[in-house]
Amino acid sequence: MMPELERLRHGVKPDTPVGGLGTVRFVATCSGDAEAVLSTCKAVLTAILKLVEQGCSDEFVWASTLPQRFVDACPSFPSPEEMKAYQRLPLDERVQRDLAEGWPLRAVMNAFLVLTRWWSWWDAVVLDKHHILVAVQVSEWPFPWELLRWLFCGSGATDLVEEPDSDIGLDTVR
């Protein structure tokens, strides 16, 4: 089994060495349902990793396999005209639009099947009903983490930001 999948299912064993460049931590903000958000996010990523391992590129299969909460949160893929208009926007406007509207399922698929992902799941813990502390193992710095943000927001979080300070101090999330 893939180490990332193992960490998703069972957490990090205390003696597991961190690979790559180490871990980066984020805080997900939720609307009082942090347990459900984390559960959904883990289910989404687990299903995606299995689909990728199988080489599945069928959007219908992805939509029927992923948790419904996540699939429902994904906007429709833009029409060719909308895509051209989107591509004409400056990068900062495209990023803001993606933050506001979310990622279409086809874009999520593309990010996992075609693009290089510079992070992998390390661990996460619910801090309280409104916050989740998340750690990802990274292989490049800086690294794009918009997909990670959408995984959490599409799973019900209201936001995901880099940890503002490192004194939250949970040993399970390094």
Q: Dihedral (C-alpha) 3, 114, 158, 160: value to the nearest 10 degrees?
A: 60
pLDDT at 98: 79
Token readout for 93 is: 């406007």
Mean pLDDT of 138-144: 88
Give the Cα separation of 156 and 48 in Å (integer). 17
Question: pTM for the whole thing?
Answer: 0.87
CA triple 45-101-166, angle to 5 deg: 55
Confidence bin at 173 (pLDDT 50/70/90): very low
Q: Reduce the DSSP state of residue 65 to 3 states and report it.
A: helix
The answer to whether residue 167 scores a pLDDT higher than 50 is no
Q: What is the pLDDT of residues 15-56, one digit of tens each?
A: 888 888 889 999 999 999 999 999 999 999 999 999 999 999
Residue type (1 letter), 171: D
Q: What are phi and psi of 93, to 5 degrees?
A: -70, -35
The answer to whether residue 7 scores a pLDDT higher than 90 is yes
pLDDT at 165: 60
More confident residue, 54 or 166: 54
Q: Find out whether 141 and 22 touch, Cβ atoms under 8 Å.
A: no
